[in-house]
Structure 1
Amino acid sequence: MAETLGSLCDKLTIVKLKQWHSEDSERLSSLAIQEKQLQFEINEFVEDAIAGEIPIEKLVFSANKVFKKDGNYVPEVNGNIGEVFSQLAEVNCKLWHEQEKVYEFEKVPIAEKDIVVKQLALLNLERNKCIDRIDRQFQTTISQLTNKENPKCT
């Protein structure tokens, strides 16, 4: 996957989850470095996009997930970048806890195994929708900013 604002935001939420769930000082130190690197990358990406150093079409790298929509409800993702970033963080938190069940899948009651797998799939679809939405919103914002700075002659 190409790096986009959405994919960088996704990585940052995952690093924050790892920090939250870790008590190992060595791991926490490494994660703190990753967090700072991602913050720098996000800031640099935004600055480069504003400066026009990233082609507008490269601000989006849609997941284009192919799945059977019937019986697989995935909520719509709407809102501005901040709102969707918040939703992405929430989805990744839910994904974290579902994934924890898979690490000890043998302990999941047989009647619940299909539910866990389905929930993982649906949460991943929602996660991708959030990433795509952040990217599209950012692309729109940069396009509008570019159009304001370079008005067409009439």
Structure 2
Amino acid sequence: MMLNKVGFIDKKSFFKEIALKTKNSTRRSKAKVTGKSKKKRVSGWQINSNFLLLRPLYSLIINTEPLEKKEITDKLKKCGNIKLVVISGVFIQNPDSRIDMLIVGDRLKKGVIESTLSVLESEVGKDISYAFFETPEFKYRLSVYDKFVRDILDYPHMKIIDKIGL
């Protein structure tokens, strides 16, 4: 195996607990699992933590952007007249973010937004937390220093559409 030859993985022997089943007189009836178990030696593979390229490989996989900005904007075009899209959280590798996406616009279509975001969730592989506002409501919340809006804009984020001039 090539991964073994370069030192990325090592063969490992370990014990696995296996539940014991009762013996039945007929083959057709299902065996019942008893509360007892026994340990069996099995072999498997384990990542070598001393592998020289492990850290760069990890950062390559983890620190890449899940989606390009253009892909996100193209998918959101059908959702209404979009004025502002702010991404954070899963899109910029910031797990402490309050939200992953903020959408602001006019004549927003809730159903289309939800279906678009479910497609994005499947591409990213994680649940996306989001909020969307009509433009007047967002501007009002911004003017009164709404905590939710301030938390999004005061912490790490990225604007991928900004027609409001934020």
More strand by share: 2
Which structure has the higher relative contact order (CA within 8 Å, separation 6+)? 1
Could you state the TM-score of these two structures normalised by the residue count of structure 2?
0.22
More helix by share: 1
Could you state the TM-score of these two structures normalised by the residue count of structure 1?
0.23
